[in-house]
Amino acid sequence: MHSQESLDLPAHTQQSTQTYRLQRRLGTTLQYTLLALLLFFSFFIILVMVAMSLRPTVLIYADFWALPWPPVPTNYQTAVLDLIPSMLRTLFISLVSILGVLVIACPSAYAFARMKFPGSGVLFYVVLAVMMIPGIILLTPHFILAQQLQLRGTLYGLIIFYIAGGQPFAIFLLSTFFRSQSEEIFEAARIDGSSELHSLLRIAIPLAWPILMTVAILNFLGIYDDFIWPRLMLPQNLETLVLALERYNPQIGEYSNRPELGPQAAGYVFASLPQLLIFVFAMKYFIQGLTSGAVKA
């Protein structure tokens, strides 16, 4: 049927259709080629780092671009043993900070989204205004405040500022999502005698699981990769993983006057594992959270 209709078309129309299809195929091929190149260059540095982590340092200096064959796992043994205390310390700071951000932001966002009280609009705009302030500007006042409160040199002092700093963005995202939830559900709960706290714990939070995961992932990335604030707050014996990697240079080989590239690369690969695992197992919730507030229910 389709061939018969094509035969009935004028010759110039058929030629235009074929030209258009050819252009579309060429455009699609060019797009996929460009995406493949971008993907390759994005992962090229990671592949080089992984290859270096599986080679002895002496061979890296001898031939930088050689393949890691046979692979040598001793670099990872050295890096893991050296960096595991800093890794555990960083995970502890991240998890406690994220838990604190969510515990405080959830009721605050619910109050802005579902409750009417004097000054709620003004307070919400204040939260948005605080969110617009670049974090680098707040370093000096935060440092002075931490000094006055005697919070420097402690993990909990670091955690307190992470929890406070994560509130504006978390409240903004969560309140936007809470407003998109169906009002009829909460009205039915109030008719049945449910309090606002019960509605928050039993209705709002379970429905907001994707956006909670999004807030948790974004805060984890910011806390896990932070360098400046831990450098100002923590002594060397309490350093986080990023600080430990910054000065990590084990002297285990014959090139004592040169960096040990193999263990260093293994340390960076080891440090990347938590972030990789977070995205592998929570990417679905992360994408759902980013798109959940796009359409109002």
pLDDT tens for each residue of 244-267: 998 888 876 555 567 788 899 999
Residues 39 and 177 in one domain: no
Q: What total of structural domains would you count in the chain?
A: 2
Contact between 221 and 206 under an 8 Å Cβ cutoff? The reply is: no
Residues 49 and 79 in one domain: no
Residues 36 and 118 in one domain: no
Q: What is the pLDDT of residue 247?
A: 86
pTM of the complete model beyond 0.85: no
| Residue 239 belongs to a domain | yes
Q: What is the pLDDT of residue 134?
A: 87
The CATH number linked to 84 is: 1.10.3720.10
252 in helix, strand or coil?
Answer: coil
Residues 43 and 85 in one domain: no
Residues 7 and 129 in one domain: no
Residues 194 and 262 in one domain: yes
The domain of 35 spans: 2-53
Nearest Cα neighbor of 49 from 36, 38, 64, 63 is 64
Residues 34 and 158 in one domain: no
Contact between 228 and 254 under an 8 Å Cβ cutoff? The reply is: no
| Residue 244 belongs to a domain | yes
Cβ partners under 8 Å of residue 120, min gap 6: 111, 112
Residues 93 and 158 in one domain: yes
| Residue 204 belongs to a domain | yes
- DSSP H helices, 193-260, are 196-199, 205-207, 209-224, 228-233, 241-246
Cβ partners under 8 Å of residue 249, min gap 6: 259, 260, 264
Low-confidence ranges of the chain (pLDDT < 50): 1-7, 294-297
Q: What is the pLDDT of residue 295?
A: 45
| Residue 59 belongs to a domain | no
Residues 113 and 218 in one domain: yes
Residues 91 and 218 in one domain: yes
Nearest Cα neighbor of 267 from 64, 49, 95 is 49
Contact between 111 and 199 under an 8 Å Cβ cutoff? The reply is: no
Residues 31 and 82 in one domain: no
